[in-house]
Amino acid sequence: MATIRDVAKLAGVSISTVSLALNETGKVNEDTYQRIWQAARDVGYVANPVAQSLKSGRSRLIGMIVGDISNPFFGKILQEVERYAIEKNHLVIVSESRADPERDLAILEQLSGQRVAGVILSPHGRGREYVERISSYRMPIVMLDHKVEGIDADFIGSDNVLASAMLTEHLIRWGHTRIAHIAGITGLWTAEQRMKGFYDTMAASGLPVDDSLVVRGEYDGDLSYTQAMRLLTRPDRPTAILAANNITALGVLQAINDLGLKCPADISLTCIDDVPWSNVISPRLTMAVQSIDEIARVASKWLLERISSRTPEAIAAREHIVDPRLLIGQSCAAPAQFSTKV
Amino acid sequence: MATIRDVAKLAGVSISTVSLALNETGKVNEDTYQRIWQAARDVGYVANPVAQSLKSGRSRLIGMIVGDISNPFFGKILQEVERYAIEKNHLVIVSESRADPERDLAILEQLSGQRVAGVILSPHGRGREYVERISSYRMPIVMLDHKVEGIDADFIGSDNVLASAMLTEHLIRWGHTRIAHIAGITGLWTAEQRMKGFYDTMAASGLPVDDSLVVRGEYDGDLSYTQAMRLLTRPDRPTAILAANNITALGVLQAINDLGLKCPADISLTCIDDVPWSNVISPRLTMAVQSIDEIARVASKWLLERISSRTPEAIAAREHIVDPRLLIGQSCAAPAQFSTKV
DNA sequence: GTGAAAGCGCTAACAG
DNA sequence: CTGTTAGCGCTTTCAC
């Protein structure tokens, strides 16, 4: 590969002049500039970003850490982020924490080692130590999806309380009183918020919550399937289920099918999160949809903004909460007789 | 960040000794080694990969270029690749070509600039110039999914001819003779192969193919929807459709639903590729499933193998073709009367 | 305006 | 076995 030295030789100038010229500093004569530019073209020169990184301490790489790469929600976000990044001449490194806080930290450490320009993190930990360790990095970090208290960084996510409140209310309107909630990962912000929205709305409607109907699905399809199986084979089974996210809902749907039940005739189902191609899933789910595009767009924008700022820390931490949209499907109906009378 | 110099100072040795020690060359006394190791711990030393890359000309980064990041097929592959890579202490950069050959090349150029250790590429071009430009890189490249003739590189993909042959045969067995094929991206290997499997099987069964029933869906959901709409509103509409991939099939399904038709009563549908959570899509699709895990595993393994080899080019190009599996669903039935008599 | 030189952090000859 | 030295390719003062 051609180096700056080759260009200098061909143009008959020193390497520093080449650098000055190619970086458009305006400190070089127009004609020398032209000569250098021509020479660069001729030898096929393209700057070595590794050398630039070593010198500057920053690369044109940005990192993205998510819990589960294969979750389409993150796939979409990744896609948007990558498009935005490439436009700004950055490349993106993705890595997966598998919902493990230790892994969050370990990857962050590696990314920091690579001198990435910044990272978009969907954090899976909490507590003082976690917060401190994350805060110890000097690179710009934008937090996504899960909010962690105490971190002084930009955050972009959805109003999860509102999302499950909307859905719970929807179910209540249909006449359900015995509603189950298959929750997300214990301790995770989104999961807790969604649960809160559920409890709050039930309380506001004066409905009691049977705590045995609130179970952990951990945002995991298989576990949610098992939990749904348990719930649905109880003699006093719920008449409706609020699933914490798309993966959970699919597990539930699977359980419903396997038990030979009908949704919504036998059981109503709603969930938070968007399901890919939800319109071909039968029945079409009633859900609270997050605006993936908006989340991705704001996250990329804010990160790149900090990256290109000469004083990133001067920008106060921002927060962008996206309102979910209620999407009515065909997965809800009035409670079936035999279940309501329990 | 602590550098090798800090460690040297603390341990009271020269920086080269530190380097030698930490790289486990076995050329350092046990006690000096211990002292250095201890010092490294104390100052919190961690090698700067950027400097290492500059020196060696290779980073511990691997690239992955796919057509569409949000396609769950690639999401899954990416996940597997990332897991394997991280295990081998590598990070992965993903980028999207959006099915544009020029972009393939442009990204490859950027990755090469970053001195990535290797790349996994799902290529979208063909022809001499494309092949030559790809071949000009010295880094290990493993090709995925789409096979490009003339490139001397490892290739991992499915037997696409077999896949569509299996499905076509399945439809023929059901008694279909008027079968439509919504094909993939023009010129792309997988698309051509799938089309070939279709034509070959029809010919082998002595069935004529109505060429107007073979249309381009370009692996695009919206376009496939439109094409399916056209096909299904023809007076002489087909009794079955073979969709080139999952995205295509979902578009078709959408069209079927929107037209108020029933699958499989009114129209049979099959597709190649796996659909995420296909078991909750109604009807369960009959499809040729590719073993994503196997593809991802072999690709990662081969790439990392070349990367860690001191003579990567000495390894002859390999090819691994995965046999698709026929997964019977409920999307096929005997042709309806009114259509067959056309 | 242009060039010489120092140095980012690390590795690898080559001496000693 | 350990230290000295010379870069990898680039940016950036600082002289001229």
Cβ of A15 near strand D (under 7 Å)? The reply is yes
How distant is the alpha carbon of residue A299 from its chain centre? Answer: 9
- Residue closest to B51 by CA, chosen among B83, B19, B21: B19
Question: Cα dist. B169→B162, B202, B216, B246, B326 in Å?
Answer: 10, 8, 21, 19, 11
Q: What is the mean pLDDT of residues B149-154?
A: 93
The verdict on a CB contact (< 8 Å) between B82 and A91 is no
pLDDT at B299 over 60: yes
- A253 at interface of B, judged by CB pairs closer than 8 A: yes
Judge whether B82 is closer than 8 Å to chain A, CB to CB.
Answer: yes
The amino acid present at A206, given as its one-letter code, is G
Nearest CB to B50 within list A71, A114, A253: A114
Q: Give the pTM.
A: 0.89
> Token digits for B177?
């003779």
Phi/psi region, residue B93 (left: phi>0; alpha: psi -120 to 50; beta: rest), is beta
**Pick from B49, B75, B281: which is nearest to A70 by CB?**
B75
Separation between Cα atoms, residue B285 and residue B181, nearest integer Å: 16
Q: How many CB pairs under 8 A join A and B?
A: 123
**Cα first-last separation, chain A:** 76
Note whether A253 contacts B72, CB cutoff 8 Å. no
Q: Which nucleotide lies closest to B27 by the C1' atom and the CA atom?
A: D1
Specify the length of chain B in residues: 342
Q: How far is A328 from chain B (nearest CA, A)?
A: 17
Q: Do B69 and A82 touch (CB under 8 A)?
A: yes
**How is residue A226 written in tokens?**
């098992």
The spacing between the Cα labelled CA in A16 and the C1' in D12, in angstroms, equals 9
Q: What is the mean pLDDT of chain B?
A: 92
**pLDDT reported for residue A340:** 42
- Supply the pLDDT for residue A308: 87
**Distance in angstroms: CA A158, C1' C9:** 42
- Work out the average pLDDT over B50-64: 95
Secondary structure string (H, E, C) spanning chain A:
CCCHHHHHHHHCCCHHHHHHHHCCCCCCCHHHHHHHHHHHHHHCCCCCHHHHHHHHCCCCEEEEEECCCCCHHHHHHHHHHHHHHHHCCCEEEEEECCCCHHHHHHHHHHHHHCCCCEEEECCCCCCHHHHHHHHCCCCCEEEECCCCCCCCCEEEEECHHHHHHHHHHHHHHCCCCCEEEEECCCCCHHHHHHHHHHHHHHHHCCCCCCHHHEEECCCCHHHHHHHHHHHHCCCCCCCEEEECCHHHHHHHHHHHHHCCCCCCCCCEEEEECCCCCHHHECCCCEEEECCHHHHHHHHHHHHHHHHHCCCHHHCCCCEEEECCEEECCCCCCCCCHHHHCC
Question: Looking up tokens 């498009």, which residue turns up?
Answer: A83
Give the pLDDT of residue B342. Answer: 37
Residue A93 to residue B53, Cβ atoms within 8 A: no
Segment B222-273, tens digit of pLDDT: 899 999 999 999 999 999 999 999 889 988 998 998 899 999 999 999 999 8
> d(Cα A153, Cα A11) in Å, to the nearest integer?
47
What is the pLDDT confidence band of residue B103, given thresholds at 50, 70 and 90? very high
**Closest nucleotide C1' to the C-alpha of A55:** C8
The continuous run of DSSP H or E covering B292 comes out as helix B292-308
CA distance A2 to chain B (A): 11
| B113 closest CB neighbour out of A49, A114, A280 | A49
CB A122 within 8 A of CB A148: no
CA of A39 to C1' of C1 (A): 19
pLDDT of residue A284: 84
Residue A16: CB less than 7 A from any atom in strand D: yes
Q: How far apart are CA B33 and CA B44, in angstroms?
A: 16
Residues 53-72 of B with CB under 7 A from strand D: 54-55, 57
Nearest beta carbon to residue A53 from set B50, B93, B110: B50
The whole-number average pLDDT for the span B295-300 is: 95
More confidently predicted of A25 and B171: B171
**A55–B contact, CB cutoff 8 A:** no
Residue A131 has what pLDDT?
A: 96
**Higher pLDDT residue, B26 or B220?**
B220
Tell me: pLDDT of B310 over 90: no
Task: Give per-residue pLDDT as tens, B34-49.
Answer: 899 999 999 999 999 9
pLDDT of residue A227: 97
Domains for chain B: give ranges and CATH numbers. 4-47 (no CATH), 55-158+291-322 (3.40.50.2300), 160-290 (3.40.50.2300)
Strand C protein footprint, C-beta under 7 A = A 12-17, 20, 27-29, 32-33, 51, 54-55, 57; B 1, 3-5, 15-16, 19-20, 22-23, 45, 47-48, 51-52, 54-56
A contacts of B96 (beta carbons < 8 Å): 79, 82-83, 86
Instruction: Measure, in angstroms, how far nucleotide C14 C1' is from residue B27 CA.
Output: 15
DSSP string over A53-95: HHHHS--SEEEEEES-TTSHHHHHHHHHHHHHHHHTT-EEEEE
Confidence of residue B326 (pLDDT cuts 50, 70, 90): very high
Mutate to test the interface with B, among A60, A70, A71, A74 (most CBs of B within 10 A): A70
Q: Which residues of chain A have pLDDT under 50?
A: 338-342
DSSP 8-state class, residue B324? P
The distance (Å) linking the CA of A112 with the C1' of D15 is: 37
